[in-house]
Amino acid sequence: MASDKRNTRPGIHLQSPDVQADPYPTYTRMRNEHPVCQVEPAGTWAVSRFEDVRYVLANPKIFSASVADDLYNLDSPAGKRKPPRLIISQDPPEHGKYQRLVNKAFLDKATKPLIPLMRDTAQSLLGNFDTAAPVDFVEHFAYPYIGTIIQQIVGLENKQSLSELRHWLELEERVAIPPQDEAFTKAFKAAVAKQNRYFLEVMNERRNEPRNDVVTQLVNAEVDGKKLTDEEILGLLCLLVSAGFVTTTHMLSHAIILLGQKPDTLAELRESPQLLPAFIEELFRFSPSVLATVRKTTQAVTISDVEIPAGKTVMPLLAAANRDSAAFPNPDTFDLHRPRVGRHLTFGHDAHTCLGAALARLELKIALQTLLGRYAQIACPADEDLARIDTSFVRGVSELLVRFH
């Protein structure tokens, strides 16, 4: 049955407090009643069914990723646009050229050598936990664990404090549709400029003294026979840090919250640690930190009997698609033994599949292995008491007081 064309803007506000607290009832309503509709506060077109979201992601000629630049050009001088954010805002064929470059520099070179650092960092951080009192898991484990790894990857480990890095990233994750106010824009510009100075220092050092690392690979890389410009390398480093830091930090917190809520699952994982990869995959489906991405229509297109005009911003709701019963039976139940769970769309689909997916899985696996080997009980605040962050695209907590035993 065709959707009611008079009701394509049904008053669904994805930034309202109740949706921020728990978006999934609203996602269910959207899939059932308004699978393609305009949402508040900006009238952005949202797509919520699994097959529709996958269709959007798989068709870059109709749904361009270039709209991501509109979100992040806040730090550009007045009247001047920066070069595109490479990979995240590119469409094929340009997207593929830069993604292959980063895959070569990043995935092939950087992941496996980091395993000892991951284990040592996790063990060191847990050694500071006081089991007699609640510990803020975000502050004392998630951020320093992921931050130490990311800083090592991009050469910032001896240059920038985690608190400085965190300040920039917290501004990055608050970038929204519609744009933030003038005070936010000013703070964002300052943070990006400062971050770029750190990156430029590392880049210049690697040009003079090459190492076997990601930054050296990037400063020497070529696309179409030309070396990357400083701005292009800055864009890639920003992407590696922002995409690899914030989302995985929140996924660690989501894992702890879920294990605190499901002591039977915690006990099963401790007894059968070989199930940890399945747990992580179902966690990505059930409680992803990335709720959505954005595209822009290059032409008018009809999805689920609703026409979206050309030139409109579209928000494929990845988290809503992951709870679609047409793709996953009993989608609102966490199932450690769910078949075909890897079909989830948390890391995107097709050309724009997240290049850091393998690293994120590895970071979670080693962190949780270390935690499960040490603690048998985890107690977290109730859902209604969690300090949820308020963003358009990311779901997480700013603080997580946990008792470990």
pTM given for the model: 0.89
- In whole angstroms, how far apart are CA 163 and each of 145, 196, 211? 13, 16, 26
Over residues 13-60, the pLDDT tens digits come to 998 888 988 999 999 999 999 999 999 988 999 999 999 999 999 999
Give the pLDDT of residue 365: 97
Q: Are 260 and 386 in contact, with CB atoms under 8 Å apart?
A: no
Give the pLDDT of residue 4: 45
- In which band, very low, low, confident or very high, does the pLDDT at 296 lie, cut at 50, 70 and 90? very high
SS in 3 state form for the chain? Answer: CCCCHHHCCCCCECCCHHHHHCCHHHHHHHHHHCCEEEEECCCEEEECCHHHHHHHHHCCCCEEHHHHHHHHHHHCCCCCCCCCCCCCCCCCCHHHHHHHHHHHHHHHHHCHHHHHHHHHHHHHHHCCCCCCCCEEHHHHHHHHHHHHHHHHHHCCCCCCCHHHHHHHHHHHCCCCCCCCCHHHHHHHHHHHHHHHHHHHHHHHHHHHCCCCCHHHHHHHCEECCEECCHHHHHHHHHHHHHHHHHHHHHHHHHHHHHHHHCHHHHHHHHHCHHHHHHHHHHHHHHCCCECECCEEECCCEEECCEEECCCCEEEEEHHHHCCCCCCCCCCCCCCCCCCCHHHCCCCCCHHHCCCCHHHHHHHHHHHHHHHHHHCCCEECCCHHHCEECCCCCECCEEECEEEEC
Give the pLDDT of residue 73: 54
Give the pLDDT of residue 54: 97
Give the pLDDT of residue 139: 94
The Cα–Cα gap between 396 and 388 comes to 6
pLDDT tops 90 at residue 2: no
Give the pLDDT of residue 20: 87
- In which band, very low, low, confident or very high, does the pLDDT at 167 lie, cut at 50, 70 and 90? confident
Over residues 235-248, the pLDDT tens digits come to 888 888 877 788 89
Question: CATH number of the domain at 5-404, please?
Answer: 1.10.630.10
- In which band, very low, low, confident or very high, does the pLDDT at 79 lie, cut at 50, 70 and 90? very low
Q: 262 versus 224: which is more confidently predicted?
A: 262
pLDDT tops 50 at residue 387: yes
Give the pLDDT of residue 356: 80
Q: Pairing relation of β-strands 313-316 and 44-47? A: parallel
Looking at residues 158-166, what average pLDDT do you find?
87
The Cα–Cα gap between 207 and 220 comes to 8
Q: Are 169 and 245 in contact, with CB atoms under 8 Å apart?
A: yes
What the block records as the tokens of 61 is: 């000629």
Give the pLDDT of residue 136: 96
Give the pLDDT of residue 111: 73
Over residues 102-151, the pLDDT tens digits come to 776 665 556 778 899 999 999 999 988 887 899 999 999 999 999 999 99
Closest CA to 179 of 48, 76, 253, 84: 76
- In which band, very low, low, confident or very high, does the pLDDT at 76 lie, cut at 50, 70 and 90? very low
| Mean pLDDT computed over every residue of the chain | 88
Residue with tokens 């070989």, as numbered in its chain: 274
The residue ranges of every structural domain in the chain are 5-404
Over residues 329-366, the pLDDT tens digits come to 999 999 999 999 999 999 999 877 787 888 899 999 99
∠ CA 220-223-227, nearest 5°, is 40
Q: Are 195 and 182 in contact, with CB atoms under 8 Å apart?
A: no
Give the pLDDT of residue 85: 60
